[in-house]
Amino acid sequence: MKINKRFSGGLVVTAAVIAAMFATGLPAQAANSSPKGDLVLVRNQDFATFNPDLAQNDSIFIQQQIFEPLFMINPDGKDVKPWLAKSASVSSDKLTWTIKLRTDVKFSDGTPMTSADVKFSLDTATKGDGWGFLNTAIASVTASAPDTVIIKTNAPWAPLLSDLAAFSNSILPANYGGKTADAFFKSPIGTGPFKFDHWTPGKEVKFVANTNYWQPGKPYLNSVTWQYVVDDNTRELMLKSGQADINEFPPSTSIAELKSSGMQVTPFPAAASEYLAFNEKIPALADVHVRRAVSYALDREAIIKVVLAGYGTASNSVLAPNVGFYDPKTPGVQYDLKAAAAELAKSKFKKGLTLEYLATAGSVQDNAMSSILQAALKQIGVTLKIVTQEPKVKRVTQKNMQYQITSTGWTMDISDPDELMTFALSPVEGGTNSFYTGYNNKVVINAVKRGQTTVDPTVRQRNYSIAQTQSAKDAYMAFVYNAPYVYAWSPKITGFFVTPTLQYHMEDVKKG
C-alpha cells in the first residue's frame, strides 16, 4: 500500500512522493568544487566519539556533518523528509516498509552508497548497547536490490521513519569499509557534506568539504572546526576578535553585550523542556493537591526572566511545542498563588508542610528556580528547604529516588514524541519509573502505547492529547519552561540555522 499522508508518526507523506519524483527527475550534479571560507564554531562541550552508538549531545551534532541518515528531521522539528532515502511505503498490514534509496549518493572516498551499506548500518545500530533501543521494533532489514531496503517490524510501529532519522541510524560503509570499528571511527568516512580532517581531544575536531557530496553545489564552506572552549567569557572574546565565527549557547547575561558589538544573536526554537520532578514515594508528594499547589506556586515568567534573560516560554505540557503531536490545549498548571493555596487546602496538609528541593550546585537555573519557589511557597505555608549536590551526585540521588523535588529536563533525540512519552510516562516500558517520579497512571500508559502502535495520525493525536492532558491534571511534574537554543555569530556568516532537535545543516552555511 502506498501511503500518501504525513511522515510524522511513521506515515509516508505526499512530500516524500513529490521529493522522490523530484529527485529522480534531477540530473546528477556535482558538489561544490570550490568551497570557500573556514568556519570556527566554539562550544563548551568536548567532542567524544564518532561512533553513533556511543554519542551524546557532545558528539551527535558534530557527527552529523560526516554521517547522514535515510530521513532527515524537518526544520520545524515535527516531521521527517527523505534524505539518503528517496521514498518509503508500508504494506497494508503495516509491518513491512520498503525504502527506496537515492542512487546519486557517494561516501566521501567516492564509493557509491548502496542497500548493503544501509543494511549493515541499521543492523549495527540495532545491536548497539547505547541507542539500539530506538530500533527495538525492527525485526529484520533486507537489502532486496542495490537501491531498495525492506524493513520488517515486530508490530505496527508509527515512529519508524522518525527512528530512522535518528543520528544513531546514520549510514556508514558496509563492514566499516573493510576496517575494524575502532580504526574506522578514528578516521571515519560518510556521505555527509564534510569529511574528516583531524581530531585533537580536548581542543578541536576539524572537517573539510566533501567534494563527493550528493547535494549539488554544496557545501559552501571549505572547512568547519568545532573548538572546545569551556570559559563563557573566552568564547565571547573569541567571537568578538574574529577568532571564532559562531558561539554555541552564550550565557543569557552576555546577549545584550554581544548584540551591541554587532554580533547576530538568534534564539532558535528548541524541542526541549525543563521540569520539576516530584517523587511520589514521598507521602506528601503522592497527594495530587500538594503537587498542584507546588506547581501553581512556580512563577515561570520570573524564572524565564532571571535564567534566560526573557528568552523562553512557560511550559504547559510534557511535550515541547516543537514536538509532533504537542497539544497546545494541555491544561498544564501555570503560576497562580491563590490557586496554590486552594489546592493546599484540599490536601491532607492544610496546615502546611516542609518540603525539600534538591538543586544542582552552581547552577544558575536551579538557584533561581529554588529561590523563587521557596519565596512563593512560604506565602501559602509551605517551607521549602534547599539542598545542593554536585551534578553527577544529584543525578544518582534522583535515580535512586532519594529526593523530594528536583529539576530535570529532556531534549528530543527524534522528531516523534514516542521516545520521550515512553520514558516520561510509562514507568516499566520506559525503564525510568516515569522520570524517577513513580508516576503510574494506567490511562496515560495505555494512551502512550496506542500512540506508539497506531499509525493513523488522527488516532495518535487523540491518544497523545489524552496522555498530555491527564499527566498535566495529575501535576506529576511541574512543566517549567521551554528555552530556545541561543547562538551568537559573526555578521560574515549567512545561512546558519539550527533545528529544534539541534541539527546543524552546515552544508547551507556561507562565510564572507
- For residue 433, count other CB atoms closer than 10 A to its CB: 18
**Contact between 388 and another protein per CB under 8 A:** no
Task: Please give the order of strands across the beta sheet that includes 38-43.
Answer: 194-200, 204-209, 223-228, 38-43, 246-248, 485-489, 264-268
Burial of 311 (0-12, 13-18, 19+ CB in 10 A): middle
> Nearest distance from residue 206's CB to another protein, in Å?
11
CB count within 10 Å of CB 204 equals 19
80 forms beta bridges with: 73
Choosing from 14, 24, 56, 253, the residue that interacts with another protein (CB under 8 A) is: 56
Site residues for another protein, 189-218, by CB under 8 A, read 200-203
Handedness of CA 387, 471, 270, 255 (dihedral sign): negative
Q: Quick one: which of 16, 229, 255, 502 contacts another protein (CB under 8 A)?
A: 229
Size of the site for another protein (CB under 8 A): 45
Q: Which amino acid is at 53?
A: D
Site for another protein in 70-129 (CB under 8 A): 129
Site membership for another protein, residue 249 (CB under 8 A): no
The C-alpha atoms of residue 68 and residue 52 are separated, in whole angstroms, by 11
Length of the chain: 512
> Toward another protein, which CB reaches closer, 193 or 250?
250
Contacting another protein (CB under 8 A), which of 215, 432, 441, 461?
A: 432
Quote the least distance from Cβ 49 to another protein, whole Å: 6
Please state the closest distance from residue 61 (CB atom) to another protein, in A: 13
Interacting residues with another protein between 298 and 337 (CB under 8 A): none
Q: Which of residues 411-430 bind another protein (CB under 8 A)?
A: 411, 413, 419, 423, 430
User: Exactly one of 396, 443, 494, 495 binds another protein (CB under 8 A); which one?
Assistant: 396
CA 142 to chain centre: 29
Min separation Cβ 86 and another protein, Å: 30
To another protein, the closest distance from the beta carbon of 491 in angstroms equals: 17
Q: Which of 329, 378, 399, 492 binds another protein (CB under 8 A)?
A: 399
Taking CB under 8 A as the rule, does residue 231 contact another protein? yes
The least distance separating another protein from the CB of residue 237, rounded to whole angstroms, comes to 5
Among 409, 440, 470, 497, binds another protein (CB under 8 A): 409
Cβ distance to another protein smaller for residue 112 or 242: 242
Question: Grid coordinates in use for 94?
Answer: 503495516
Go through 243-279 and write b for each residue having 16 or more CB atoms within 10 A of its CB, e for each that does not: ebbbbbebebebbeebeeeebbbebbbbbbbbbbbbb
The strand ranges marked E within 279-393 are 313-314, 353-360, 382-389
Q: Write down the least CB distance from residue 62 to another protein, Å.
A: 13
Choice from 310, 352, 431, 495 touching another protein (CB under 8 A): 431
Q: Is the peptide bond preceding residue 491 cis, with omega within 30 degrees of 0?
A: no
Q: Greatest CA span in the chain, whole angstroms?
A: 75
- Find the shortest distance in angstroms from Cβ 390 to another protein: 7
Dihedral pair phi/psi, residue 228, rounded to 5°: -95, 110
The nearest distance, CB 287 to another protein, in angstroms, is 27
**Contact between 39 and 245 (Cβ < 8 Å):** yes
Binding site for another protein (CB under 8 A): 46-49, 51, 54, 56-57, 129-131, 133, 182, 200-203, 227-231, 233-234, 237-238, 240-241, 243, 390-393, 395-396, 399, 409-411, 413, 419, 423, 430-432
